Amino acid sequence: MAVKIRLARRGRKRLAIYDIVVADARSPRDGRFIERIGQYNPNTDPASITLDEDKAFDWVMKGAQPTDTVKAMLSYRGVLIRKHLQIGVIKGALTQEQADAKFEEWKKGKDAQIEGKKEKLAQTAAEKEKVQLEAETKKRKAREEAVAKKRQELEDAAKASAAEAAEAIKEAEGGSEEPEAEGKE
């Protein structure tokens, strides 16, 4: 029986989540499986991989063949380098302590790299939000200035029309008084 480590799809349309399963190669993609060893969510950034590394290592050592995608995930999580080191121990090239030390060193470097990427993404998002906030503030101030300018123009126009109306009233009153004054004399 050929055993594969592969992905089984679940989740809704366009928001798929995949289970990492060990299954018979003849069974359908979402069909029967022997064991579920992890989960892969490509919707997050970076993509989240939850994997029982000991079970995955055990299955790989038993001869289960990972698909290309799962092979990349196993490599990313260190299962394949652990297998490589374990084969070295079996052949006598390394001791188990040396292999464990090399794997722990690699694991620390990889964890630091992943954390660095997460921090970089968070920093980029914060900078993008800050730039967007500054642009929105600048736009809001420009609008406020335009509204204030328009308001000032309207007030000036109202004052000017009020002054013209007052002058027109004075002229009308002054013009009507003068003819009366002429008629009295």
- Cα–Cα distance for residue pair 3/62, rounded to 1 Å: 10
Asked, for residue 21, whether it belongs to a domain, the answer is yes
Structure tokens at 55: 């079970």
Question: 52 burial class (0-12, 13-18, 19+ CB within 10 angstroms)?
Answer: middle
Give the list of residues 6+ apart from residue 60 with CB closer than 8 angstroms, or none: 5, 66, 74, 79, 80, 83
Q: Domain total for the chain? A: 1
Q: How confident is the model at residue 123 (pLDDT cuts 50, 70, 90)?
A: very high
Domain residues for 81?
3-94
Asked, for residue 78, whether it belongs to a domain, the answer is yes
Asked, for residue 116, whether it belongs to a domain, the answer is no
Asked, for residue 44, whether it belongs to a domain, the answer is yes
Answer positive or negative: Cα dihedral of 39, 40, 44, 46.
positive
Q: What is the pTM of this model?
A: 0.65
Asked, for residue 34, whether it belongs to a domain, the answer is yes
pLDDT of 114 higher than 90: no
Q: How confident is the model at residue 171 (pLDDT cuts 50, 70, 90)?
A: confident
Asked, for residue 76, whether it belongs to a domain, the answer is yes
| Helix, strand, coil tally for the chain in percent (to 5) | 65, 20, 15
- CATH no. for residue 26? 3.30.1320.10
